[in-house]
Structure 1
Amino acid sequence: MINTITLNPSLDYIVKVNNFKVDELNRSVGEQIYAGGKGINVSIVLKNLGVENTALGYVAGFTGDEILRQIKEHDVDCDFVKLENGLSRINVKLKSDGETEINGSGPDITEEDLKSLYRKISKLGKGDFLILSGSIPKSIPDDIYENIMKALLYSGVEFIVDATKDLLLNVLKYRPFLIKPNHHELAEMFNVEIKGDEDIIKYAKKLQEMGAKNVLISMAGDGAILITENGEALKRDVPKGTLKNSVGAGDSMVAGFLAGYLKNHDIKEAFKMGVATGSASAFSEELATEKEVNELLAKMN
């Protein structure tokens, strides 16, 4: 079974305003509200690709109810911990001449709430995948990803981790099946300037030396580079298309990679599927559908 964890999900409120002016009344020309969170995006795209999975995490209040409603609209199974107090956060994204974001902080998560999540994941075992992605709330210990992997160390669960800096670096010793930083995050982790593919491969291999089995580096319009478990460096360009929305493209790449891998455990085909799925989301106003992914796959060698 495939499981995703989103510790700090949100309702993303997208507002479009022409010529936004500070300290004046502005009227929107377009609005959208959708459930946000990297793990949730992965779950939705996996389901779109025909891969059954369960979304885990925390929700609270009426905003949490709406997050669950929207996830279930995509036929994704949910097993979130419902918090007694607080509200799941609302993130406001204002699009005008530029783009401004205001992200909420989210509800407090208690020690008992943490135990509830651990009880849910304790049921996982050999053959299961657990995807850990995104930021964590301030009320949760910084080593939460590390502790989750440690708790399941001998269970046979395979881990996929898409997180930044220390959240990612600290889990490498637990040998995650796949990690997916982007090239900017890779540079930040090693405090270096990335000047080209050779640098990306060099530092991606360092992450592999630290414990990761497969290292997937996304590079937006420049494609992606994969360091396979046997040390082979592969690169794929993105297929041609018009960028419409970069939100969720990286999460879609993770979903596509796993969906491709589950078909026949071919890591190269998984890589191809990951790039196609990430691109399909980037070329769409919403997250990738199976039809969109297949159309791009047909154009790739």
Structure 2
Amino acid sequence: SIDDINDLTNKLETILKKDDILILSGSASSSIDTNIYEKLSKIAYLKQSKAILDADGELLANGLKGPISVLKPNKYELCAYFNIPLDTDNNTLLKLSKSLLNENLKLIVLSLGENGSFFITKNEIYKVDKIDTTIVSTVGAGDAMVAGIAYGLHNNLSLVDTIKISTACATASIKKEIGKPINLDEINKIKPLVKYYKL
């Protein structure tokens, strides 16, 4: 409801502080304006916090109008945003992704599902391979990756270290049943298995 949104914005204005990470993720009720993530990212920006956007459709399109620091779309979401076919080649996807980067948006993590991911900045692009493992559930894997990205952002990790921890988080997640938490020991065991290369 409008009251709930007002309560949320007031709370964020109170609790957010410099270098905090605000994750703007998921769908929203049809009663909520699709520019909600844009509004919340502006609050984060004014508080010198950073916002990570992981959404689709109008929430993604409008969210990008705000001062987002990191965007994590999957291939379907990115193709829908640019209104291009799902079988668009990777070079085109990378070019379009780079076109979104700006003075605030420094990193785009493009998830390709079973084909791994791309980590895209102004000066660097890394292709990250999927780790072969037993898949129990893919539910929450994207959220786990976002958590790893947030950790890297908050702790000023290098891009490579952020790649390792976020990919390890996602991999640990798919080995678990829905709702089962992952722990740091599992993540640290997976990190050395992460394969990536610079394009």
TM range (shorter): 0.7 to 0.9
Match of 1:113 in 2: 4
Q: Deviations over 1:38-80 (max 9, x none)?
A: xxxxxxxxxxxxxxxxxxxxxxxxxxxxxxxxxxxxxxxxxxx
Is residue 2:162 matched to residue 1:270? yes
Letter in structure 1 aligned against 2:185: K
Deviates more, 1:219-228 or 1:205-214: 205-214
Paired residue for 1:185, among 66, 77, 89? 77
Match of 1:255 in 2: 147
In terms of fraction of residues, the more strand-rich structure is: 1
Q: Deviations over 1:220-267 (max 9, x none)?
A: 111110112x33111110222021101000110010122234344312
Counterpart CA distance in 1 for 2:188 and 2:19 is 26
Larger Rg: 1
Counterpart CA distance in 1 for 2:101 and 2:146 is 17
Query: Given the superposition, is the C-alpha separation of residues 163 and 183 from structure 1 closer, same or farther in structure 2, using an over 3 Å criterion?
Result: same
Shift of 1:287: 4.1
Match of 1:122 in 2: 13
CA RMSD of aligned residues (A): 2.0
Counterpart CA distance in 1 for 2:107 and 2:73 is 11
Is residue 2:110 matched to residue 1:232? no
Match of 1:201 in 2: 94
Match of 2:187 in 1: 293
In terms of fraction of residues, the more helix-rich structure is: 2
Query: Given the superposition, is the C-alpha separation of residues 264 and 113 from structure 1 closer, same or farther in structure 2, using an over 3 Å criterion?
Result: closer
Letter in structure 2 aligned against 1:157: S
- Does the 8 Å contact 2:74/2:110 carry over to 1? yes
Paired residue for 1:137, among 25, 29, 39? 29
Runs (5+) with no aligned partner, structure 1: 1-108
Match of 2:53 in 1: 161
Q: TM-score, normalization: structure 2?
A: 0.87
Corresponding pairs, count:
191
Counterpart CA distance in 2 for 1:166 and 1:206 is 19
Counterpart CA distance in 1 for 2:103 and 2:57 is 13
- Does the 8 Å contact 2:72/2:146 carry over to 1? yes
Shift of 1:186: 0.8
Paired residue for 1:170, among 62, 72, 95? 62
- Does the 8 Å contact 1:165/1:185 carry over to 2? yes
- Does the 8 Å contact 1:208/1:214 carry over to 2? yes
Match of 1:16 in 2: none
Runs (5+) with no aligned partner, structure 2: none
Counterpart CA distance in 2 for 1:287 and 1:164 is 25
Q: Deviations over 1:159-218 (max 9, x none)?
A: 011000321222323331111000111111111124332122122112225962210011
Counterpart CA distance in 2 for 1:119 and 1:162 is 22
Counterpart CA distance in 2 for 1:187 and 1:211 is 22
- Does the 8 Å contact 1:182/1:219 carry over to 2? yes
- Does the 8 Å contact 1:173/1:210 carry over to 2? no
- Does the 8 Å contact 1:161/1:168 carry over to 2? yes
Match of 1:26 in 2: none
